[in-house]
Structure 1
């Protein structure tokens, strides 16, 4: 068993989840999000392409892990659970139109006497399908099902000191990754070669901290592709004079991410790009100065709009989001969003990616800062210049 946190920390997380379940009238919770599985048990395997999860009951001490038979030893190696609470299913449940793993989960609930309870499921995530719910309802007709989407995610928003330590280590890796990316952008070099260097830096890490694979692939579009969010590199293209390149990258430690965005220009940046950069960078500084415990997510976004008022910069999308522990396809936690209407109150231990990406019709500009809410304000995770990097 190789745990990266003390068992007492996992147990405290479980206690908070059960407290939330109790408030919501949920007696049994089925967890299918792999990040939530990791958060509560330590389970860390690339097995989420098949159905797997946890069953948590208010009156049962440990979560019950259930998953594919060949992954059971992975659960024994990476979790704090007793082996009796690791329940593998036979391989003929895998991608079989006549048999579904939720029937196996229903068998566990019947065995434990929980088949008539109020059961929470993560309805709106990537790993719980409509078929999952259909099978559970058919198998457990006397149960009452509740939407428990993001119940665990909201517990995750406030990080423990140990979690913050890993994010700070990921930040050191991220600094190395970003520097590698900027250094790799040269006239005549294949974009795919620069991307390969970035991947190498992400996984190798630094002399002090090794890295790992990211939840989001390196976002590093060039030229007109910078007008769209979330595009990658163009494999057969070489960098050329006058290129603008957006970099949205990260460092990773034990599945804990620290993201960062910057912009590179090959040559002398045009006036319009420099003007946008000046407004965004000034807006970031003023917004960070405003953040402290007690302000709300929407108030932070309003401060940003105030900071950029009178300029040409417009940002209709959200200004940022909570981040931390995750697996593909996202390092965000799917909870806090910096946007109008989000009344979430900032509390010490929250980690937010302030990401005022600007995408226009012909090009884009990105400069972001991940920050930690502290007792008196906030602190950024990285010390990386906010500017257009020129080559």
Structure 2
């Protein structure tokens, strides 16, 4: 266990308080990051249906999942044996039988079938068939969309979580340095990516790393016009190459992402002008951030900082980060963009990501940060500039 059991109890308490506010008496959790947050469960088993049942009148969540993963729940969670409910393997990928029928059995067994039920309706792991099965099996339950209910509980980090994210930041710095040093004329792009994976998982002498929720985003040249492309496995680096790096360090599933831009040779004037604008915007935006401002006010301060430069960023400026699994290290809560009136509070952890993707090239220089009592604290210490090779 990477956290004290008392911390899990506090997380569960806050989750139940949110359930009460939303008139939810029973909650089915299917997001593996939320499962991890509430119980500690950590397994690569989310390719089949699994989850938790959290009820207001039960002290512990009920873990449910594939039978062969039950021992994993015993090893990685604080739950008692009675709270671990594995299902038979004939529920797995069977068109005639669905694991949500097993969940419905659990709900009926505890007499919850007439209570209000919340489900994470809009995430990667809860399907249309999940909802249909629950609706058919539990016709007396009122089903409410509880998407991101637990995510919003997670948005303010505990001291222990912040400690792990700072450790992930040290790993991230090592990963980024490894990537930059791997980008040399004649080197294979795939070899650079392999070095990044190795650095991410091995970590530093002080802190080991972990597998990332997002693969290394490191496109070159015209591929930098796109936001989420990887390396070219058939290509070698050459003079005049532009490379974007969007990488991360991971510690016990807690992610610290960072983006930088590399150029082999002397950067062209157009790239330098965009870089100067973005870097000025990053500096002024970070200086503006403090508790009490809203997410949209942060984005507005960024736009003011780059006003008149010709640089335009139509996508959001950043998002909340923390513990997660594939396919995303974002928490799916606050976004730094117009209309998001979330008030920043101490303990929030956010990725300021002012990526610019033009028709002919891209530029990235991001900063993950912690909202403090008086302002914000960047997690990483890495040069903010075009990194040349």
Q: Normalising by structure 1, what TM-score?
A: 0.99
Structure 2 distance, partners of 1:275, 1:70, is 56
Which residue is 2:54 aligned to? 56
Map residues 88-99 of structure 1 onto 2, 5 A cutoff: 88-99=86-97
Deviations along 1:231-268, one digit per CA (max 9) or x if unpaired, are 00000100011110000000000000000000000010
Which residue is 2:26 aligned to? 28
Pair 1:118 & 2:116 matched? yes
Structure 2 distance, partners of 1:115, 1:50, is 24
Structure 2 distance, partners of 1:283, 1:13, is 36
Among 69, 81, 84, the residue aligned to 1:83:
81
Map residues 1-391 of structure 1 onto 2, 5 A cutoff: 3-391=1-389
Structure 1 distance, partners of 2:363, 2:310, is 13
Structure 2 distance, partners of 1:49, 1:185, is 35
SS in 2 for 1:66: strand
Q: CA RMSD in A?
A: 0.3
Structure 2 distance, partners of 1:210, 1:42, is 19
Structure 2 distance, partners of 1:343, 1:260, is 25
SS in 2 for 1:247: strand
Structure 2 distance, partners of 1:104, 1:383, is 49
Structure 2 distance, partners of 1:15, 1:101, is 27
Structure 2 distance, partners of 1:215, 1:42, is 17
Deviations along 1:182-224, one digit per CA (max 9) or x if unpaired, are 0000111110000000000000000000001000000000010
Q: Normalising by structure 2, what TM-score?
A: 1.00
Tell me which stretches of 4 or more aligned residues in structure 1 moved more than 4 Å. Answer: none
Structure 2: gaps of 5 or more residues: none
Structure 2 distance, partners of 1:390, 1:309, is 27
Structure 2 distance, partners of 1:252, 1:371, is 15
SS in 2 for 1:116: coil
SS in 1 for 2:93: coil
Number of aligned pairs? Answer: 389
SS in 1 for 2:319: strand
SS in 1 for 2:340: coil
Structure 2 distance, partners of 1:119, 1:249, is 38
Structure 1 distance, partners of 2:55, 2:202, is 40
1:312 Cα offset (Å): 1.5
SS in 2 for 1:61: coil
Structure 1: gaps of 5 or more residues: none
SS in 1 for 2:255: strand
Deviations along 1:138-189, one digit per CA (max 9) or x if unpaired, are 0001000000000000000000000000000000000000000000001111
